[in-house]
Structure 1
Amino acid sequence: MAATGVAGAAGMTALSGCGGGPGSGKVTLKLVAADYGTPGGNNSSKIYWRKLADEFTRKNPDIAVDVTVHSWNDIGKKLTEMVDKGNPPDIAQVDSYADWAAEGKLYKVNELLPIPAQAEFLVSLAEAGEVQRVQYGLPFVASTRVLFYNKDLFKKAGLDPDEPPESWEDLKSAARALKSAGVKIPYGLPLGPEEAQGEALMWMLGNGGSYVDSVGNYTINSPENVETFQWLRDNLVTPGYTEPGPQRVDRQKMFEAFTEGQVGILNGHPTLMQQADKKHLSYGTGKLPGSNGPAEGTLGVADWMMAFRKNGHREACGKFLAFVFDEKNHYAFTSQYGLLPVTTSASRRMRKDKKQKKLWPFLDQIAGAEFYPVGKVSWASTSAVIKKTIGQAAAKGGDPKAVLTSLQRKAEAEEEAGAS
């Protein structure tokens, strides 16, 4: 899943939103959604959507909902094919929207939802759903990142298991102690193609950098970002405190190694917490370290819903989306999958739910989290190149300035091509 990086169960399932099947209402909405379930598990998202669609149609008998659920491995390609063939669904739930918004294929959020419903979305997420200051993307679920560390390995290395590192120097010192204690991977640095853009941004934020500035211009090769990767190369990778080639290490591989007790410290999201709990791992969490103390912000990731104009079902789409984001329905989904709500009311509910106490540190950060610049039409292609390349900037013997400058030029070229 995009918000957590965990692929859902493979395959495709069509669901009817009412007992009589698609077409039994005056309007049949077609929804394409992603599966957040565990591969091979019995928690597929199709169960949630079936129940929700049936309940919606009982309350709105003139509107049927026909849902198709794809795995995260397939949904991007499947949805793009549908749109390119001129046959988009009425509503989609996926990880990006900007291209279709720029092409005029999506409804604006203010065409779908009344003002009180629009105001329910957390401000930082609503803004992340904008293209040229107009909101097209409806945040569906979100996650943030924290530092994870193995308490048993900290004890083994003579480190205080209740004090996570707060600065880069603290982190370096802890990694040195962990290596001396024989820990296989003192710090997990997954800069491989699975989600290098996320790990890289977390480190950039710790030094006052980012992918873009306050007005949306790319700043990939800023002095702050170059300094960040120089520090990673010289202080973690070259001394051997990470795996030898972090540019080839995928995040899920590192998560699995952490749950097996082989990694001392790494950055992670709520799903890692669930995986570690299943293995009964003794771990702690803390804020992301920064160059001079705890980082001021953290990475936020959201998945999105959107409504296509093609079939003209604006009013029906709006009704269904309002139902999806009703507090009870939205909270049912986020609490099931260990994700963060995107509305004020559901966030308050999670804050009061002691069963979700472990998610509170992630929830605390969401208002100040930095999200990928998904509203830029150039971001999808730029992100793809970053995933493949940016890890080279931290590699032993790598040239951070050259790598980041090359990425900056490619990003600017994509931006210029998208504007023409």
Structure 2
Amino acid sequence: MHRTPARRVAVLAAVAALGLSACGSESAEQPSGGGKVAITVTGQPPSSQAVERRIFDADVAEFEKLNPDIDIVPHEGFMDPKTFSAKLAGGQLEDVYYVYFTDPANIIARRQAADITDHIKDMAVVKQLQPALLDIFKDRNGKVYGLPTANYSMGLLYNRALFSKAGLDPDKPPASWDEVRAAARKISALGNGTIGFAELSKNNQGGWHLVTWAYAMGSQIARQEGGKWTADFNNAKVKQALQLLKDMRWTDNSMGDKQLLEATDVQRLMGAGQLGMYLGAPDNVPVLVKEFKGKYEDYGVAALPGSGTLLGGEGYMINPKASPEKIKAGLKWIDWKYLAADRIEPRIKQYLAENQPIGLPAVPTPDVYTGDTRTKQAELKTQHANVPEKNFASYLDGNTKLKGNLEPPNAQQVYAVLDNVMQGVLTNKDADIDQLLSDAEAKVNSALAQVK
């Protein structure tokens, strides 16, 4: 399941604000009668997402038919910030529950997930998962507490139609930040309210994107020494990124006058054909088409210029109080529903039957594999593609050369602080970058001091 960045950030922000204080929780459902094992699972899309809901419910029915000894009790939603903390504390946590990549470390430390190390030894797909993604669900001793089921990395999303109008080659997107700046100038010169490049700067989304800029420039946001986290972004690399944004905003006038934007704002502009570029993951593209009336052929995604990118994703963990039978059933569901190699083609055909896009990175099959499974996945997506795969080739090729970095500890508090830096640069022509970073450094250090 792929959500728009706006929803993702809002959910993460609220989740981070909740204290995960419980040290365990009882499994919410008892086994069904007749020898069946009943497991509650999160991840059922809301009824407003009709296509995704139909696919999920059909999968539940098929899985139960193939596994008559297991009863799946689906719960709508993913990680609801209004209920997640209460579930943990009140013993109502589902048997199989959804997490973002930012969550497992704290969950493991607080013993809020079952150790599945011995249970996954016979799961063939585990050997085909990218080691770096599986490591997210491990403790310091190498024990495994969950499985990754989706992965994304930030890229440069661009409007191919505007590139052509501005005399730029849409098949050769910018490969450096100087090229991004030059392309933004040409696109904004088209007039009629066209904006070359847009950036987010509120509701924690500006901070989230500034972290992406930092990684692209080769900086980190925080470093850990002797078990203590400290800020690590007040440096020349991040200053370079901010100076570039300041120059694009005030010298080039290629970012438009309206600022304090969030994800839906830039998506609306891009869908309307008024925006040339913004930072985003490929899962933005279906949003542009479905919600803002864009066309798949008009969009491309390139890898971020620079040396790194922000890596994110999601997975599933299991209730620490789940019985061995429930753990076994839960892992069978996670494997079959999200990961099994022999389900890649059926999953693609499900989406085709619903007139959904095939050929986008990570949609509808997750970008979590390596080895033979990854090769098979790529071949099948090419075989069944109904959107132009070439529009995303530079993203896939370029990402192989970039270092993937996870979000910093206490991410949402860090993002809230860094929002102020982005807002300062984009709304104040005379903003002092050194002062903005110095002020932010002190506040981020306070947020990082809370990390245990």
TM-score band w.r.t. shorter chain: 0.7 to 0.9
The 1:199–1:49 alpha-carbon spacing in structure 2 relative to 1, beyond 3 Å, is: same
Superposed, 1:336-347 pairs within 5 Å as: 336=351, 338-339=363-364, 340-344=366-370, 346-347=373-374
Number of the residue aligned with 1:42: 50
Give the equivalent residue in structure 1 for 2:300: 285
CA–CA separation in structure 2 for the residues paired with 1:244 and 1:24: 66
Contact 1:233 1:393 in 2 (8 A): no
> Which residue does the alignment assign to 2:68?
61
What amino acid maps onto 1:106 in structure 2? A
* Conservation of the 8 A alpha-carbon contact between 1:178 and 1:264: yes
Q: 1:140 to 1:281 in 2, by over 3 A?
A: closer
Give the aligned partner of residue 377 of structure 2: 350
5+ residue gaps, structure 1: 9-20
Q: 1:286 to 1:270 in 2, by over 3 A?
A: closer
**Is the aligned partner of 1:168 residue 2:177?**
yes
Q: Please give the TM-score of this superposition, normalised by the length of structure 2.
A: 0.74
The AA in structure 2 aligned to 1:279 is: G
* CA separation of 1:242 and 1:34: change in aligned 2, threshold 3 A: farther
Contact 1:3 1:143 in 2 (8 A): no
SS at match of 1:107: coil
User: How far apart, CA to CA, are the structure 1 residues paired with 2:74 and 2:81?
Assistant: 16
The residue type paired with residue 309 of structure 1 is P
Q: CA deviation at 1:305?
A: 0.9
Match of 2:158, SS state, is: strand
Counterpart among 115, 133, 136 of residue 128 in structure 1: 136
Partners of 1:91 and 1:240 in 2: CA distance: 49
Change in Cα spacing, 1:373 to 1:158, as seen in structure 2 (3 Å) is closer
Counterpart residue number, 1:203: 213
Structure-2 residue corresponding to 1:251 = 263
Shift of 1:43: 1.1
Residue 314, structure 1, aligned to residue 327, structure 2: yes
Q: SS at the partner of 2:168?
A: coil
Aligned amino acid, residue 348 of structure 1? T
Given that 1:34 and 1:94 are in contact with CA atoms closer than 8 Å, whether structure 2 keeps it comes out as no
Match of 2:195 among 178, 182, 185: 185
* Equivalent residues of 2:303, 2:394 under 8 A apart: no
Q: Does 1:268 align with 2:283?
A: no
Offset at residue 89 of structure 1 (A): 1.1
Q: Structure 1 residue aligned with 2:87, among 82, 93, 101?
A: 82
Contact in 2 for aligned 1:148/1:283 (Cα 8 Å): no
- The residue number in structure 2 matching 1:33 is 43
Q: 2:313 aligns with which of 302, 312, 332?
A: 302
RMSD: 3.5
For the 8 Å contact 1:92–1:305, the answer to whether it is kept is yes
Of the three residues 227, 232, 237, the one matched with 2:240 is 227
Aligned-residue offset at 1:59: 3.7
Question: Is the partner of 1:225 in helix, strand or coil?
Answer: helix
CA deviations 1:13-40 (Å, max 9, x no partner) are xxxxxxxx955544211112263x7x84
CA change 1:50–1:363 in 2 (3 A) is farther
Q: 1:67 deviation in Å? A: 1.0
Secondary structure of residue in 1 paired with 2:51: coil
Aligned residues of 1:150 and 1:282 also touching (Cα < 8 A): no
Cα pair 1:25 1:61 within 8 Å, conserved: no
Q: Answer whether contact 1:145 1:299 (CA < 8 A) is retained.
A: yes
Q: In 2, Cα distance between the equivalents of 1:77 and 1:97?
A: 19
Q: What are the within-5 Å matches in structure 2 for residues 132-151 of structure 1?
A: 132=140, 134=142, 135-151=144-160
The 2-side partners of 1:387 and 1:91 are apart by: 34
Q: Which moved more, 1:158-167 or 1:95-104?
A: 158-167
Alignment coverage as a number of residue pairs: 395
Q: State the distance in 1 between where 2:2 and 2:433 align.
A: 27
What amino acid does structure 2 have at the position aligned with 1:196?
G
Partner residue, 1:16: none
Contact kept in structure 1, 2:112 and 2:319, CA below 8 Å: yes
Give the deviation of 1:306 after TM superposition: 0.9
* In structure 2, C-alpha distance between the alignment counterparts of 1:281 and 1:52, rounded to whole Å: 27
Q: Is 1:5 matched with 2:19?
A: no
Deviations 1:141-183 (A, max 9, x none): 1223332333443344343444322222222222222233215
State whether residues 106 and 306 of structure 1, in contact with CA within 8 Å, keep that contact through their aligned partners in structure 2: yes
CA distance in 2, matches of 1:404, 1:34: 41
Task: Give the counterpart of 2:58 among 42, 46, 51.
Answer: 51
Code of the residue aligned with 1:319 in structure 2: it is K
Instruction: Work out whether residues 4 and 143 of structure 1, in 8 Å CA contact, stay in contact via their aligned partners in 2.
Output: no
Deviation at 1:208, TM superposition (A): 1.4
- Given that 1:192 and 1:251 are in contact with CA atoms closer than 8 Å, whether structure 2 keeps it comes out as no
Cα distance change on mapping 1:406 and 1:350 into 2, 3 Å: farther
Distance change >3 Å, CA 165–CA 85, structure 1 → 2: same
- How far the C-alpha of 1:120 sits from its partner, in A, is 2.0
The answer (yes or no) to whether the contact 2:105–2:139 under 8 Å persists in 1 is yes
In the alignment, structure 2 segments of 5+ residues that lack a partner are 9-30, 357-362
> What is the letter of the counterpart of residue 320 of structure 1?
W
Q: Is 2:249–2:256's contact at 8 Å kept on the other side of the alignment?
A: no
CA distance in 2, matches of 1:334, 1:298: 28
SS of structure 2 residue aligned to 1:270: coil
SS at match of 1:77: coil
**Distance in 2 between residues matched to 1:98 and 1:334, nearest whole Å:** 32
Q: Secondary structure at the match of 2:63?
A: helix
**Contact 1:297–1:369 under 8 Å retained in 2:** yes
Change (3 A) 1:41 1:254: same
